[in-house]
Homo-oligomer: A and B are copies of this chain.
Amino acid sequence: MKIVTCVAPVNIAVIKYWGKRDDKLILPLNDSVSTTLSTEHLCAKTTIMISSEFQSDRLWLNGREENCENPRIQNCLREVYALSRIYEIDGDISAIARQGSGSACRSVLGGFVQWNKGDQDDGSDSLATQLAPANHWPEMRILILVVHEKHKKISSKIGMEQSVKTSELLKYRVSHCVPQRIQDIKQAILNKDFERFAEITMKDSNQFHAVCLDTFPPAVYMNDVSHAIVNFVHCYNKLKGHNALAYTFDAGPNACLYMKEHDVPKVLGLLSVIFPFPGEEDSYIKGIPINKDTIPQEMQAAFGMEQQMEGSLKYIIHTRLGNGPKELKSQNEHLLTDSGVPKNLVI
A interface list, Cβ under 8 A from B: 150-151, 168-169, 172-173, 176-177, 199, 202-203, 206-207, 209-211, 213-218, 220, 223-224, 227, 230-231, 234
Q: Give the contacting residue for A203; candidates B202, B216, B227; CB below 8 A.
A: B216
In the bound complex, what is the Cα–Cα distance between A168 and B202 (angstroms)?
14
In Å, the complex CA distance between A172 and B170 comes to 11
Chain B residues near A231 (CB, 8 Å)? Answer: 151
- B217 pairs with A210, CB closer than 8 A: no
Q: Is the CB of A213 within 8 A of B213?
A: yes
Q: Which residues of B contact A173 (CB under 8 A)?
A: 169
11 contacts between A and B (CB under 8 A): A151-B231, A168-B172, A168-B177, A169-B169, A169-B207, A169-B214, A172-B172, A172-B176, A199-B216, A207-B213, A210-B213
With beta carbons under 8 angstroms apart, the residue of B168, B209, B214 that contacts A176 is: B168
Bound complex: CA A210 to CA B220 (Å): 11
Query: Is the Cβ of A234 less than 8 Å from the Cβ of B206?
Result: no
**Contact yes or no, B202 A209, CB < 8 A:** no
Q: Is the CB of A230 within 8 A of B206?
A: no
CB within 8 Å for A209 and B216 given contacts A169-B169, A223-B224, A224-B224: no
For the complex of A and B, the 6 pairs showing the least CB-CB separation, nearest first, are A210-B214, A210-B210, A172-B172, A210-B213, A217-B234, A224-B224
The residue that A206 contacts in the complex, of B202, B203, B213, B227, with Cβ under 8 A, is: B213
Task: Return the chain B residue nearest A238 by Cβ.
Answer: B217
Nearest chain B CB to A208's CB is how many angstroms away? 9
Q: A150-B224, A203-B216, A210-B211 are in contact. List 9 more A-B contacts (CB 8 A).
A: A169-B207, A169-B210, A206-B215, A206-B216, A207-B213, A210-B210, A213-B213, A217-B234, A218-B230
Shortest distance in angstroms between A282's beta carbon and chain B's nearest beta carbon? 30
> How many Å from the CB of A52 to the closest CB on chain B?
51
CA A173 to CA B167, docked complex, whole Å: 11
